[in-house]
């Protein structure tokens, strides 16, 4: 059975880069360096949002439960 989550090597690298940024943010948060943790979290969010926009995929954000 093929992996349904397979993606291009470039996108895979991007996801690993974002994961590494988030890991650093968690480490900074644990060290009480909240300013850098905030900046790293913001960078990860921006890179992920940009990647999803560039994919022009049919990914739809889930609706908030009411």
12-31 confidence digits (pLDDT tens)? 899 899 999 999 999 988 88
Distance between CA atoms of residues 2 and 35, nearest Å: 42
30-53 confidence digits (pLDDT tens)? 888 889 889 999 999 999 888 888
Q: What is the pTM (predicted TM-score) of this model?
A: 0.67
Distance between CA atoms of residues 60 and 43, nearest Å: 22
Residue 42 is part of which domain span?
9-58
Q: Is residue 48 part of a domain?
A: yes
Q: Is residue 2 part of a domain?
A: no
Q: Is residue 1 part of a domain?
A: no
Q: Is residue 13 part of a domain?
A: yes
Counted domains in the chain: 1
Q: Is residue 39 part of a domain?
A: yes
Q: Is residue 3 part of a domain?
A: no
Q: Is residue 45 part of a domain?
A: yes
């Amino acid at each position: 059975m093929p992996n349904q989550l397979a993606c291009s090597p470039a996108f895979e690298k991007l996801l690993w880069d974002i994961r590494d940024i988030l890991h650093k943010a968690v480490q900074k948060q644990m060290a009480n360096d909240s300013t850098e943790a905030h900046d790293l979290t913001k960078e990860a969010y921006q890179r992920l949002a940009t990647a999803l926009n560039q994919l022009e995929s049919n990914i739809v954000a889930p609706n908030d439960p009411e």
